[in-house]
Structure 1
Amino acid sequence: MRTEQYGNYQCVTKEEEYDFVVCGGGLAGFCAAMSAARNNLKVCLVQDRPVLGGNSSSEIRVNPLGASRFHAFAKESGLLMEVIAKERAINHSEAFGDNGWMNSLWDMVLYDMAVKEPNLTLYLNTTFVEVVMAEKNEISGVICQVANAEVRLLLKAKIFADCTGDGLVAAKAGCEWRMGEEAREEFNEPHAPRQGSDNTMGSSIHFSAKDMGRPVPFEAPDWAIKDFDEDFFYKQGRIPYNPKGGFWWIEIGTPWHTIYQNEEIRHELTKYTLGIWDWIKNKDPHLKQQAENYALDWIGQVPGKRESRRIMGMYLMTEKDLISKTVFPDEVAYGGFYIDLHTIGGLLAEHSEPSHALSDQQKLDATIDGVDEKSDYAISTYIAPYGIPLRALISKDIKNLVMAGRNISTTHVALGTLRVMSTTALMGEAIGTAAATAVKNQVTIQEVPEKYMDEVQQALLKAGCFLLNHKNEDKNDKAKIAKVTAGSSKLLKGVGPQTKDWHSDTFMLNNKPMTSTPVTLKDRVGQLIATSKEGIKSISVCLSNTTSKVQEIDARILQVQHIWDYDNNKGYKPSWEGVLRILPGKLQWIEIPFHLNGCDVVSENQMIRLDVGPNAFVEWEMSPTVETGQMAVYEMATGRMRKLQEGRSMSFRIDPPQKVYEPENVLSGRTRPYESTNLWKSDPSRSLPEWLQLEWTDLQEIHEIQLTFPGHLTYEYRMYPPFFKDPEIAKDYSVFAWIEQEWQEVLEVKGNYEYRKCHRLNQSITTSKLKIVIYSTNGDLSAGLYEIRCY
């Protein structure tokens, strides 16, 4: 540290050296810094705000969205799920929509994790100012200014990450970048405009309101924008669903520049927000009475940006990659949000994004979010989970610069799905891991995609991440060569209208507990079912005939590749198809007699899908719960399926019961349902404790044990209630080793609620057998485990 004197003024300058410097402390930057630090790099994280989290922080309060919004069991794992598990366990904040309900406890979880990481130095309230170049294509350092401290930093590193959102580091380093819309013909993107432009998606601020228990008047200031009519909200896709706030459509961008005119945008958004609240409180014929007792509690003053600069990388992602689900050799993350292209202009446009501009009839058929899932726009923008390549996260112009967040190498159209925060968090974890790999192997980051991808991918999987096209093949994982047994295993028998478990008691829909729900089969509905090699004799479904006449309905069974295999146009030949006859009456179990022998299944533990419908006079009862990985889908367009509602299971029974939760599943290499359940679950009819055991033919020296429990995968983040500890996660457990001809306890855990635990033993043990004994869960009747690793 040195002091520079300018007359009577002194300025402190600090020069520090790291392996990896991350500029930008949103979820992408946070995950980049944390993953690099956990992979033994010396890391510095610079954030220009007083809190971490970016758009998800308490300053902006956007709920982190991702693939789980549209795909069951697609929740982003790794560091982000670790954050969510910690935050939900301690936070009283309850979701009332997409935005506005996050609070400072979310910030504190991020801060707590960062300051506890010994390899990470954190600078908050610190603004990136300038780059220092070693040569034309290499950064040697960044200059930053600590606000209100009169401290200037020169941070040197081997690799730098631009997670600023605006791509400021890359732009100042001379990288090529894009901003605005590409023309349709440039990359043959169906959702691109015919002519390119400088237009970008807008920025938003949010508000929240509080029920005071008595009438509270509100008068907007005279500078607020108040010239609204009912059509502006209810016919142009800006429906205020409740008086608590959190409306994504309070958005403005074009004609203002989302970087240079950020302050003008903030003020315009504030004017509109106060006017919108004035409408809700004093004029809205649908909401005025409900809002009578509500008072404004918070209005954001930091606009949450959706789009600005996009830095050109070694690969440019386009809409084609999303639609065709390109399999990348350097896959490091995945996405699955729909192609969410907000209407240019936001509040100034004729309507909000196209899927929200509905006719009156469409509004009756729409979901609670006001989206007609069967509109042409919704159908064309719904995409299955897709992979993201590391090359899109590495600058093509600067040999030691990576990026994660909305500023990655993508077109405007592809950014519609890539920009959501849960997806960018995965990008961040990927670049941090890749940076560690580059430093370890003494190569540039640009060399990693060609030379060290297996190392990066296996490291991400080991850290709890999920990759669509890769699974655990770690040669150092000694569990992979063990024989696995367990005290018991659950058999899949099916679920019904009366099936009751923690799902129905924990999760709320429209402020009511989940109950069985009749689904009218005006569209074909499918139920995913995991199978085992024993074969199937029959499947029964619980149907209702709402007429006084016998109804007939088509049914078929298809073998699918994985749980997000939505495309019926691949030429799959049904394993069985026929017509069901349903007599008049409610809740009838209709048996489908057929034989699917084990040899007819593509592989052991193959997923099948039972499709029923359409017939608008027949209902299929949805269960209050969900069998792991076995959710319902429906046909939104000919040959194209999508998740049905929040992803519960339809009522079905299967004979004989299927062995799909066997102990060997913990060595499948997957830590979530995909091709099958990939999960061991104990028999719920047996009381805990339950155990799972690894046994080797030779003695093994073990110093580390990693456990991945089920939990936090089923639903999107906003559905999890306050103080939530996932019932499926083991709460109290021990690990025993067979040493000197007896079982010796090597570790004991009490009060756990985290889905993934990494246990480094105080000293190595030599053993031929390990046993994990689960004494209690956080509520589920079964013990469960996705994966065990031993090193």
Structure 2
Amino acid sequence: MQHIHDSFDVIVCGGGLAGICAAIAAARQGARTCIVQDRPVFGGNSSSEIRVFPQGAANYNAYARETGIIAELLIEERVVNHEPNSENGRTNSVWDLILYDKIISTPHLSHYLNTSVYALEMGDAKEIKAIHARVGNAETELTLHANVFIDCTGDGILAELSGCEWRMGTEGQAEFGEHHAPPTASSEVMGSSIHFRAKDMGKPVPFQAPAWAYHYDNPDVFYKGGRVPYDPEGGFWWIELGVPWNTITGNEIIRHELTRHVLGIWDFMKNKDPNLMDKTKHYALDWIGQVPGKRESRRIMGQYVLTEKDLVGQTVFEDEVAFGGWYIDLHKSGGLLAEYSEQSVAEGENSDYMKKSYIAPYGIPLRSLVAKDVTNLMMAGRNISASHVALGSSRVMGTTALLGQAAGTAAAVALSRGESVSGLSVSTITAIKQRLLRDDCFLLHESNEDPLDLARMAIATASSEAKLGRVEPKMTLNEVQGLNESELLNEKRGQWIAMSTEQVDALSICLSNLTEQIQWVEASVVAARHIWDYKTDIEPKLAQTTLAVPPGQCQWIRWELNVQVEREPDQSTCYIRLDIGPHAQLYWHKAASIIPGMVAAADMGNGLMRRYENGESLAFHIEPEQCSYPVKNVRSGVTRPYRRTNLWRSAPSEAMPQWAQLNWREEQVVSQVEVTFAGNLLRDYRFYAPLSQDPQCVKAYELQAWMADEWITLERVNNNYQRKRIHRLAQAVRTTQVRIVITETNGDPSAAIYEIRVY
């Protein structure tokens, strides 16, 4: 048996997306870091072993996609992967290699795969000194010391071995006053799943289930239980089991039982269900997962327990380091053995339960990532300090990746300042938040205040700026296809509009009325605090009226307003929301293209709206034109639409090249320039085709500086598709002007930048 001893600043246990982002983040801050993973590949539930697509807040909220390290990885995956990613079960080894390459290519980062932690060395002061681990099939034992340990194992292995308090199961309603909690506490948790994938062979393929497969004969299990097997290729999230087995100690039993159920489900689809037999006639089983993807096990108790009230009430945390926005998604503990797997799916997305489950993006505090009983233990992933109900939202991989980056960053910054992660000073927490923002994370209540960023002292200018006026509809009178039923105004809809002036003269909307009579529809305008201000009853209203809509298609219905819009003195733009409807006989047409930062939402019926369709804008016309994308936005301190667009966008009618420029009154010494481009924010990454690049993202550009009375090109990039680019100059330059000259995008007619930082 070989024995290896080593020491690090930070050790991350667990190689899912939380662990990967924690390890990379810590290493990028200069901490000597090691990641220990008990599987042969990185990625956890997202890997090719389990094949769950990473999802997060953007699935329900426009412009809420997670950024930072997870964005780098997912953008790269879509650019280089040939595999469509429409549903679970499709993940291939290209994703595994992207994750492995990122780990291997990160300086200061070591790794151990196929390595399981089995014991700890504890110090006298409630701290972990070292982990003991075994490398599978290698006859190797490890003793690894570190100053900070981050538990990203999902099961909370370090917490269990160190004696840290943890919970497993549900809290009763009385403990935290949570609407979604059961009346009394229990040991029940959400179950684990395996996926399968089938392949179209182009000819009939028979299937005979083995005798030990589970037998399904009752279609009500599927069609009345919210488990519709809609796709012949498989990938069903509801192939899930938990109770009566323990999701940790019963993992192997669950794996076997899930395999029995997969074979039984496929047998039902191929041989028993008349609706599916024809669909699956030419399909053959291609892959069945043999590593259960867990939803829930141990939750490590930290300095703060995140609850449903924090999610729904939008608690503002002084130590906010991440955000979530997936709905409160609580599965029945029995999975396939229960009446239904998930109540909101079984009852439908318009059910009262589902309406109470949707939430806008919310903040997550650093204290929920710091163990309360062990001084140098942090956690990230589905094992953070949260109630069972809050876990229903925070457990999804887009969110856990952000938690990982936050934990890794916090650990490294704390060590660099000589502080314990369990007792961070206010200034260190501020430094952590600012570092996360610089590394392309988004925080709901923070903006760039980095005193070292020279861009904050500069004046921004540009070659041109896009104006917002008339947003044309997809459908015109010359088109012959029928109207889109999804555009019927069955519920009130809201359209956010970014204002740069204090006066709105008129607003118009593009409506169709297929009846033979004039129809009347309610309209109002309100001031929206931000793009996720979903309340339907915002008061006071800036204006309201009833609009007459004569018979006809694609008509511009004009509303003369002449109202004043107040704006904060330091804001270049702010949002108003135009609310129309409901009216079941009218159509409000979608916009013909994506209008950056102009989101739309639909009334859910419980006093709140939610994103309309897949993030489309609706057709409208505002008078006068608005300068909604001024170049001063490149130093607004926020890198996505939120309280304003925060985006500079060149005029689409102007030819390339286009440029955004920073000017200083006095000469500056510049050694590094960081640029955040548009794109990859609006929707969940599953909406991107294989081998694709976001059209809004800049493709070719030059970094230039004004030197010796001329523009000198410092760096040139010709095939960019990443959102965040960092240019470390080989030699610092002295200049009074820096600019980004954009010569090509990946398809959009406008050049667009969220932020320029200069150091």
TM-score for both structures, normalised by structure 2: 0.97
Superposed displacement of residue 453, structure 1: 1.1
**Which of residues 424, 429, 438 in structure 2 aligns to 1:448?**
424
Matches within 5 A, 1:391-402: 391-402=367-378
1:624: Cα distance to partner? 4.0
Letter in structure 1 aligned against 2:36: V
Q: Give 1:209 deviation, angstroms.
A: 1.1
* Deviation, structure 1 residue 638: 4.2
1:575 is the counterpart of 2:542 = yes
Change (3 A) 1:494 1:244: farther
The one-letter amino acid paired with 2:67 is S
Mapped pair 1:428 → 2:404: yes
Look up the match of 1:439: 415
Instruction: Give the Å deviation of 1:515.
Output: 10
Residues 584-593 or 20-29, more deviating: 584-593
Q: Distance in 1 between matches of 2:572 and 2:670?
A: 31
The corresponding residue for 1:3 is: none
Q: Which amino acid aligns with 1:249?
A: W
Q: Secondary structure at the match of 1:259?
A: coil
Letter in 2 for 1:179: M
Shift of 1:518: 5.1
Question: Which residue of 494, 502, 527 maps to 1:559?
Answer: 527
The worse-fitting range, judged by mean Cα deviation, of 281-290 and 347-356 is 281-290
Instruction: Tell me the number of residue pairs that the alignment of Structure 1 and Structure 2 aligns.
Output: 754
User: Which residue of 2 is the match for residue 720 of structure 1?
Assistant: 688
CA distance in 1, matches of 2:744, 2:289: 42
Q: Where does 1:341-420 land on structure 2 (aligned, <5 Å)?
A: 341-358=330-347, 372-420=348-396
The 5 Å alignment of 1:691-706 reads 691-706=659-674
Q: Does residue 475 of the first structure (1) align with residue 451 of the second (2)?
A: yes
Which residue matches 2:209? 220
**Match for 2:564 among 597, 602, 607?**
597
Instruction: Give the equivalent residue in structure 2 for 1:209.
Output: 198
Matched, 1:738 2:706: yes
- Normalised by the length of structure 1, the TM-score is 0.94
The one-letter code matched in structure 1 to 2:224 is K
Aligned residue in 2 for 1:7:
none
Q: 1:671 Cα shift? A: 0.4
| In 1: Cα distance, 2:483 partner to 2:270 partner | 33
CA contact (8 A) 1:391 1:449 kept: no
Q: Is the 8 A contact 1:516 1:623 kept in 2?
A: no
Are the counterparts in 2 of residues 204 and 305 from structure 1 also a CA contact under 8 Å? Answer: yes
- Tell me which amino acid in the other structure corresponds to 2:246: H
CA separation of 1:630 and 1:762: change in aligned 2, threshold 3 A? same
Letter of the 1:396 counterpart: K
Deviation at 1:136, TM superposition (A): 5.0
Q: CA deviation at 1:600?
A: 7.0
Matched, 1:314 2:303: yes
Question: Which residue pairs with 2:551 in the alignment?
Answer: 584
Correspondence 1:528 to 2:496: yes
> Kindly, what percent of the aligned residue pairs are identical?
49
2 CA distance for matches of 1:596 and 1:48?
62
Counterpart residue number, 1:34 = 24
1:507-526 equivalences in 2 (<5 Å): 519-526=487-494
Question: How big is the shift at 1:645?
Answer: 1.4
Q: Deviations over 1:272-324 (max 9, x none)?
A: 00110111111222222111111111110000000000000000111111111
Contact 1:691 1:773 in 2 (8 A): yes
Q: 8 Å contact 2:10–2:31 — kept in the other structure?
A: yes
How far off is 1:626 after superposition? 2.3
Q: CA deviation at 1:120?
A: 0.1
- Partner SS state of residue 398, structure 2: helix
1:234 aligns with 2:201: no
- Secondary structure of the corresponding residue to residue 198 of structure 2: strand
Q: Distance in 2 between matches of 1:236 and 1:599?
A: 50
The CA distance in 2 between the partners of 1:64 and 1:55, in whole Å, is 8
Q: Residue 710 of structure 1 contacts residue 729 of structure 1 at CA under 8 Å; is this kept in 2?
A: yes
1:532-557 alpha-carbon deviations (Å, 9 max, x no partner) = 12522111111111321111110000
Q: Aligned partners of 1:743 and 1:406: how far apart in 2?
A: 50
Give the aligned partner of residue 440 of structure 2: 464
Would you identify which runs of 4 or more consecutive aligned residues in structure 1 move more than 6 Å? Answer: 513-517
Aligned equivalents of 1:756 and 1:190: distance in 2?
40
Aligned counterpart, 1:497? 473
1:323 aligns with 2:323: no
**How far apart are the structure 1 equivalents of 2:116 and 2:223?**
42
Cα deviation digits, residues 749-771 of structure 1 (max 9, x gap): 11111111011000101100011
- Deviation for aligned residue 1:615: 1.4
Aligned pair 1:109/2:98, yes or no?
Answer: yes
Could you say which residue in structure 1 is the equivalent of 2:715? 747
The offset of 1:567, in angstroms, is 1.6
State yes or no: 1:51 paired with 2:41: yes
| Distance in 2 (alpha carbons) for counterparts of 1:790 and 1:414 | 39
Aligned residues of 2:704 and 2:711 also touching (Cα < 8 A): yes
Give the aligned CA root-mean-square deviation in angstroms.
Answer: 1.6
Deviation string 1:352-387 (CA, Å, 9 cap, x unpaired) is 2111223xxxxxxxxxxxxx3321111111111100
* 1:22 CA drift (Å): 0.3
Contact 2:217 2:272 in 1 (8 A): no
Contact 2:475 2:589 (8 Å CA) reproduced: no
Show CA shifts across 1:312-341 (max 9, x none).
000011111111110000000000000000
Change (3 A) 1:635 1:598: closer
Q: Which amino acid aligns with 1:526?
A: G
Asked whether the equivalents of residues 41 and 100 of structure 2 are also in contact (C-alpha less than 8 Å), the reply is yes
After alignment, is 87-96 or 468-477 more displaced? 87-96
- Whether contact under 8 Å (2:86, 2:687) holds in the other structure is no
> Residues 517 and 726 (structure 1 numbering): CA distance in 2 closer, same or farther, change over 3 Å?
farther
**Corresponding residue of 1:488:** 464
Shift of 1:451: 4.5
- 3-state DSSP of counterpart to 1:786: strand
1:761 pairs with 724, 729, 732, which one? 729
